[in-house]
Structure 1
Amino acid sequence: MKHRRFLLICLAPLAVLTAAFFLLPMARLVVVGAEGPLGIAGYLAILLEPRYRATLINTVLLAVATTIATLIIATIAGLFLQRHRFPGRAVLIAMLTFPLAFPGVVIGFLIILLAGRQGVIGDLTRLVSGSKLVFAYSIWGLFLGYLYFSIPRVILTIMAAVQKLDPGLEEAARSLGASPWAVQRDVVLPALVPAFVASGAIAFATAMGAFGTAFTLATNIDVLPMLIYTEFTLAANFATAASLSVGLGLISWAMLALARSLTGGTVAATG
């Protein structure tokens, strides 16, 4: 009885914090989303309203493209860095994971310095062709920013998964005459599938909801975080902003839940 009472005392602060900072705000968000002129049907606006639907499609496609590119780059880099030791390896890993320390706005500013109107790429292309190449404010700039933001989160997961692989399986495959590519294709990559699913889900959810980078770069493209911001601040359309927020949260939660069910492990979102 005393042990049970002790557990209840320990769990009480967690219950209070969960209710105050998660359950109550989420419940209020759902209620506000249904207080618009359309009522509960306002939640369907993200699918029925052409502008909202187009924004949703842009956001999902951009998140999918970011996830695929991130997995490819992080897998190649993670395999190489985990399997090889060379001078400067620690520095290279630190540089690849350094963007974890940057908020989205800083990453957006870095993309502007790279591919903006006064960026390095623009200056170089002006010297070569006479005209500046500027893409920081388009979908390509946003894609590059999301990629820069996602690679560190994925590469650490891939490196940890590679470290746990059983080297005996690869030795057995090589002893049976498998080529290096066959070993990677038939042994290593299948063993990394749980890491791909978990880290891919995190990369997708992060790209879906990234606001700071979108706020800095999304000049010529609409994505859901910016649409929610404009509906809330500029149009003062609280009901629509709330319903779009719920829709965005449900999509990201569904992807994380799917990844958790497929991997049978813990998929934790990173900030």
Structure 2
Amino acid sequence: MPDTDLLARRFEEHRPHLRAVAHRMLGSSAEADDAVQDTWLRLSRADHTTIENLPGWLTTTVGRVCLDRLRSGSARHERPVDEVTDEPAGVADPAQEAVHAESVGRALEVVLTTLGPTDRLVFVLHDMFAVSFEEIAPVVDRSVAAVRQIAVRARRRVQSRSADPLTDPGRQRRVVEAFLAASREGRFEDLVKLLDPYVVLRSDATAVAMGGRAQARGAETVAAFFNGRARGALPAYVDALPGAVVVLDGQVRLALSFTVTDRIIGIEVVADPARLAGLDLVRDPG
């Protein structure tokens, strides 16, 4: 039983995060609790000794559970907009407080209900919880390239309809510009302040060969990597996300996209020529 007890304790550590994901997907506290419980049941039946990244496994699993519920119509996501927006602002218990602490606002919650199940899952996992496209692809049974396009489509729809300040492209742009400036000028403490404590940096193999990090987690680790860098980075939008590009001899050699909520929660670096060709890159004239 000790292994089971340890697994249960580790699951409880991640429960607030899983509930936040499920609440954003399903729009209902009761449905979110059910989805989290289903996730625990799947974990308890799995061979957990083969799970190398438990947080990632739990996040994608709760996403899959929510997607199944949305597709089957079992979730009560068809609630009228006025019912969603009239929910009491106060939260009674700590578990719900955790959900609201991670949320990006009630206006966004309403907008999410206008997305289809797959679009909603991709947007929530990637843009709100920094899960990589590679991890999301098997959950929705699509290619990585297809998932990326789904994210772009969902992102633009959310940005065009949401009144929430945390999804405002202008505010996100200012956060990224502040990060790039701090990186160029070597202001480590400012970099840390702009990064979420659990920020994730991912780079493709070509970027790694150019001196990048395949993956790094945590504000101080990511800040240390970018400290003094970004001197040649020019502001741009990368697949509708605020970011930057590095241009040499008239060609984009590297692209950085940033996922921003209240702070930067994810950074993706792409340098592979084939992947760069598939990105929607728009230079920021400002």
TM-score, scaled to structure 1: 0.25
Larger Rg: 1
Larger RCO (CA within 8 A; separation ≥ 6)? 1
Higher percent of residues as strand: 2
